[in-house]
Chain A
Amino acid sequence: MKETIIYFFTDSVAFKVLIGITIISATSGIVGTFSFLRKKTLVGDAIAHSLFPGICLGFIFSGTKDPFYLMSGALITGWLSVWLIDVLTAKSKLSSDTSIAFVSTFFFAIGSVLLSFISSSTNGNQSGLKDFLFGKAATMSNEDINVFVFLSLIILLIVILFFKYFQLISFNKEFAKSIGIKVNLIEFLLSTITVLTVAIGIQSVGVVLTSALLIAPAATARYWTNNLPKMLFYSALIGVLSGVLGVFISSTKENMPTGPWIVFILFFFTLMTLLFSSNRGWFSMVRKQRINRKKMAEENVLKVFYQLAELGIKNVTYSEFLNKRQMDTKELTNTIASLIKKGFINNDFQFFKLSEKGEVEAARIVRFHRLWELYLTKRLNFKEDHIHGTAETIEHLITPEIEKELLKELKFPKSDPHNKIIPY
């Protein structure tokens, strides 16, 4: 791996491939953000499949792998597919996902037929066309890279110039129309740069996987920010990192395709984001659940202390506690330790006792529990033997505002449905 990296930075041809993949993946990340926001990610996939016959046609027509002819062919069939999807969705009774799937597979089938036709012909120059299926960054010639970089720069320039247009039609098309913007024209432009972006990505990532480079960076970047310019930047960054790493790894072995590696790394980034993202990630959810569980355990323990005090037991031992309420012993000792630390419970030898602060807190929880039970029976017509379960959960959720409303609604009641006194 280390040798590969050194190789890419010392060999001028390899270095150029690296520059090429960097610009291509940054462009994909940026253009893909708009596909993602317009909920057109599947169209990107259809475009990629539809470019395949165009590339074959370009080759048949010119007899060379000159990127100009291949790209022109790709652009034509790519555009045709976008148009066909729109027409099918609008004029037929097919839904948009059916239209997309239909167009995508149909064009890919044509491409496969054309490829077999090329392979069986006598032209010996065709060997590289198969690389378009899974992508091979190293097959990009100097000329290819020049064309790709040039096109990428034009695409980036268009995005910068038309940023407000693209933002408007992605968020609210009707509003854009209402201020006189020719929405059709802007959509045409956006589709065109999408087709172009996919076309320049195909040689390194391949027909089958190139839509991942369009979609995954944007989907991941959305987790990181709520700001569109920042999202575009992050999306480009994720694209570049995956692109460059994918090229490194795939070059360690001969004949290893680049596309799948890029997609592997993209997926890794997405997965990590899903797991670790600070507000929406899986880990932060688990952490929140743990915090909730701890809070509930603490409040339950305080409540039991209050109930025991009502029975006259103020100095509580573990066994007295467990007689009153079943609880995992480890969780109980941990919770009590935490409550002692917070100053809610005082410890004297094997006896535990609510502190003054703890009594207030315990009374609050018992009050919530009993108020809620009363509310359920009085206002929602629950039977008395059905209310305890829900009150066990709700007591941990009631906020001071809701408490105020409950008190007002129930007119500061003295006791709960089981005739227990509600503490204030």
Chain B
Amino acid sequence: MSRTTSSITLICALLLASMPDLSRADTIEQQRFRISGFGTLGAVKSGDEILGFTQGLYQEGVFDGDWSYKSNSNLGLQLDANFNNRFSATFQLVAKERVENGLEESLEWAFLRFRATQSVTLRAGRLGPSNFMLSDYRNIGFAYLWVRPPTEFYNILSFDYIDGMDVAYSTPLGTGTASAKFQVGKTSSTFARSDNRYDVKINPIYLGTLVWENDLWQTQVSAALIEFDSDKYVAGTQQLAELLEGVGGLWPASQSYLDGMESDGRHTRYYSFGIAYTPENWQIQSEMSYIDTNVELYGSLRTGYLSVGRHIGPTTAYVMLAKAERGEDRKTIEPAPAVGPPLQPLLDVLQVNTQYVYDATQVNQQSASLGLRWNILYNLAAKTQWDRTWVEAYGGGFWDQKAIPTEDATIDTFTINLNYVF
């Protein structure tokens, strides 16, 4: 039985098990069954002739300053079922733009929850990752201030869910509540780049998060360790790598380029810190992260953002600065050695392609954003945002690249969203 079929069977079984018991209408213990939803109707204008705007690697780009109605739009439905005071289940289906878009991808949450004690909760199934402050509610635009979580910070997190389990502990601490969560699992995602598709599998993921919050402050630190579970080389470079292996005798330097493309069994570590301060009329938030990996092709990345918002009646005006910066300099691939015909053209093509894959993953960009959120109704908000992004030459890794940008680029992104919950 496929995973999709078994997921559907599980949903049906749980739906039946959670039907409300009408004989107990006057003494409700907890709401047995709840269906809720959220959505975004959005329009984005962005991109230039070679860099296409995306919200994540799972989308195709928006190029040439075109308008896209799909990039930012989504619709989600959630079912919560309380079986008793300890056991409950949550399912969430999200329709949005993805290059692979079946039920398997659309089922973002499907977990059983067990409240072991007042302070300890266990969950198992398909869960949201908790490594950044917004990582498990990026789809719910109504729940945050901006039109999207800052691209510089969140684009690196291109998987939506973890198949696994987590344990969370929370306790009052000082004037607030402290909580700790540990997640373990695996995930997979299909990425779109330059009209190609790459399947990326990650197994295992270990993720630890500490949060402290009160009415004014929220702080979070987290660390994650992931391991690529793939072919020997980084997704999308397999064919090139095999050709490089074949010419190793003619081009000895190619061995070090091959080593840099190996990903199977290699690790990536995420460290992040976030803080939010929300006094009566202000909403200030910042996150910083450092991502390190021993896959040389990806390299290390430092990212961060700072957002300051001011509530004025039902509207909030905000500014945001964000940056993502690669730790290492651009790697230059040496010219292939002169071997003469008939193999010289092959070596030259391999040199160009190797340079391309090393350049394609480089990220160096920063943005300044201005935006406005207007709470039209208690469950409906309109937002608009203007981002000016400076992408350095060879630093377009967060964009869908038709070619490697050899000069600095400045791109304006305009977004208009309607966000709602029901």
Q: Does B associate with A?
A: no
B interface residue numbers (CB < 8 A to A): none
